[in-house]
Amino acid sequence: MKKHIFKIGVAAVAVLVALAVIFNPFFPVDRFITDRIYSRLNGTDSRIIIIGIDEESLAKYGNFTLWSREKLAELVNKLYEDEENAPAVVGMDFILTDHFDEVHDGELVEAIKKTDGRVVVGTNIVYRGAIETDSKGRMYYNTEHIEDVEMPFDELNEVAVSGFTNASISSDGYVRSTMNSIALPAEISGKAGATHDFFAYAVYKLYNEKTSGTTVTPATDNAGRFEFLYSGESGEFSEVSLEAVLSDKIPMNAFKDSIVLVGAYAPGFQDSYQPASDRGSSMYGVEIHANILQAYMQGKTLININEYLMALITSLIVVAFLVFSKNKKPALIISVSVILLILYALLGRMLAANGYYISCVYLLVALALADIYFILEKYVLERIRRRHTLDVFKKYVAPQVVDELSRTGDFELHLGGEKRDVALLFVDIRGFTSMSELLEPEQVVEILNEYLKHVTDCVLSHNGTLDKFIGDAAMAIFNAPFDLDDYIYEAVATAWDISKGSAELEKKLEEKFGRTVKFGVGVNNGPAIVGNIGCDFRMDYTAIGDTVNTAARLESNAGPGQVLISEGVREALGDRIEVESVGEIPLKGKSNKIEVFSVTALKPKKKDPEKEP
């Protein structure tokens, strides 16, 4: 049955893991992990230089929204006034949609004309949700319906290459993906099948065209997107101030054959985003374009491996781990899970270097939950089973022994013992054999159980160890297995309670069965060997030795209701008890007679002032 339950559980886990991988409910957590594992911040490309419109530029030239196109025209002219030191491509991360100033707009157009088409300017895709019909004729609401494309003003659009600059922000708020190009509706482009390039892709293609390089278009997913790996964090790309360039503080040969990106580089532009590579900091849009451009140039792009394939692979790994971990030690299970996760992360990093992305969080969560399950199974459930075993065990051996085993966790019982000074108590029913011949077996058992319960309560109330029942007799040890204060007194007090507390039991049995019982008790003290006695498959915790034998002989000589003690017990308790000498009596197995005393009174135990509250 347990095997079937385990198999059903494994199958259920496999299905849940597969569904999680396919539907990706923990996308933000997964990306938090993979953004770090797959990140390759291996330095920025020196060919990419940012000219920023920064605080210095704004301080000198004023609010950017009030600028004419004169400054941009001046920048282009300065960059290309010496063809020998001119940049290969200039990308302007601005959307120059409307005319601002006819004269200066014309100057910018003329400046770009002189570059032989080496300038890329920005555009903006305007999305508006709309109801559309898919290829099967089904209607749906498309949140990415393109309403318009804000292009450069006409004269500028004729002389410059353009590309849309919209940032692709993931559902967790971070930028890590983009598109090579986007399909434009026929009503906007004027023709079917027209596409419009992304800004960084347009710069990348133009750079390869001007430098005779090869353009490698990254693979994309079904939505036409791909992910890119950042090369640098905020502020790591080479950046110079527009003001410094226009003021001739920067030599023009610094831009020779480079890719120059011109963009906002001050907080007031509100053109900053959360990069996936550096959580907690923001990055200007022009820096993100620089990272995407370098990803194009170095092949640092990714596409997701098919989610159904990944669901199958992840489920198989989890199933194999669960099957392996059954009945294994938690330390081994945890070690194997950690090794699996490290190997999986290394595989993911290797795949990322080759253009493929795999999720990590679902294997991590599945293995972590599996570890927790097996730990709970091994420890918590084991503790429950142990507690149940202890409760059953207490019915057969001394509760103190079981409690100590529970406290220490030592369930290994070993043969052997130790020599200890103890007090031994034996008690027996007088006339039990003849009484049992006159009663039904069920009645005999009921009387015996009542008697043994009374004895047990008395022994345990004085912290004794109830060693065993021997038919209608019982044996108790005091000061073993653990040290017990005033143990000789506790043994005699137990015997006194058994004898004097039997009145109620006698009355009960007389009313119910017409029969009553009397007890004979013997107590002795001295050294004994105490421990586990027996063999490997059957052992008892008990005491052996002359002290034990003497206690048993004292009990056998005790009359009904009588408590007999040895000379050693009497001397140990002194005036705390009142006794009558029974005289010297022979004890079986002993050559000499010993003096025996009958307890007639017991003084209450004095309280220890140090232990009082």
Average pLDDT over residues 124-150: 88
Can you give the pLDDT at residue 96? 95
Report in angstroms the alpha-carbon separations of 274 from 167, 172, 238, 270, 283: 11, 10, 20, 12, 6
Model confidence at 395, in pLDDT bands (50, 70, 90)?
low
User: Of 117, 207, 195, which is closest to residue 163 (Cα–Cα)?
Assistant: 195
What is the 3-class SS of 356-410, one letter each residue?
EECCCHHHHHHHHHHHHHHHHHHHHHHHHHHHHHHHHHCCCCCHHHHHHHHHHCC
For the segment 406-417, what is each residue's pLDDT rounded down to a tens digit?
A: 666 554 444 567
Average pLDDT over residues 191-214: 95
Instruction: Evaluate if residue 63 carries a pLDDT over 70.
Output: yes
Average pLDDT over residues 47-66: 95
Q: 405-602: which CATH topology?
A: Alpha-Beta Plaits (3.30.70)
Tell me how far apart the alpha carbons of residues 261 and 47 are, in angstroms, rounded to a whole number. 11
Instruction: Evaluate if residue 1 carries a pLDDT over 70.
Output: no
Return the CA Rg of the chain. Answer: 46
Can you give the pLDDT at residue 393? 55
Share of the chain above pLDDT 90, in %: 65
For the segment 246-258, what is each residue's pLDDT rounded down to a tens digit?
A: 999 999 999 999 9
Instruction: Evaluate if residue 190 carries a pLDDT over 90.
Output: no
Can you give the pLDDT at residue 509? 75
Average pLDDT over residues 367-379: 89
Instruction: Evaluate if residue 404 carries a pLDDT over 80.
Output: no
Can you give the pLDDT at residue 413? 46
Can you give the pLDDT at residue 613? 47
Domain ranges of the chain: 2-21+305-389, 41-299, 405-602
Instruction: Evaluate if residue 237 carries a pLDDT over 60.
Output: yes
Can you give the pLDDT at residue 405? 61
Model confidence at 401, in pLDDT bands (50, 70, 90)?
low
Can you give the pLDDT at residue 396? 47
Instruction: Evaluate if residue 373 carries a pLDDT over 50.
Output: yes
Average pLDDT over residues 29-34: 94
Contact 397, 460 (CB under 8 A): no
Can you give the pLDDT at residue 447? 82
pTM of the model: 0.68
Across 437-472, the runs of DSSP E, i.e. the strands, are: 465-470
Token digits of residue 555: 């009990």
Can you give the pLDDT at residue 480? 86
Model confidence at 52, in pLDDT bands (50, 70, 90)?
very high
Q: How many other C-beta atoms lie within 10 A of the C-beta of residue 52?
A: 25
Comparing 266-270, 352-356, 511-515, which segment has the lowest mean pLDDT?
A: 511-515
For the segment 99-134, what is each residue's pLDDT rounded down to a tens digit?
A: 999 999 999 999 999 999 999 999 999 998 888 887
For the segment 432-478, what is each residue's pLDDT rounded down to a tens digit?
A: 766 777 778 888 888 888 888 899 999 988 989 888 888 889 999 99
Report in angstroms the alpha-carbon separations of 19 from 22, 25, 345, 371: 5, 9, 21, 21
For the segment 286-306, what is each residue's pLDDT rounded down to a tens digit?
A: 999 999 999 999 999 999 999
Can you give the pLDDT at residue 536? 62
Instruction: Evaluate if residue 538 carries a pLDDT over 80.
Output: no
Average pLDDT over residues 32-47: 92
101 versus 516: the higher-pLDDT residue is 101
Share of the chain above pLDDT 70, in %: 92
Can you give the pLDDT at residue 394? 61
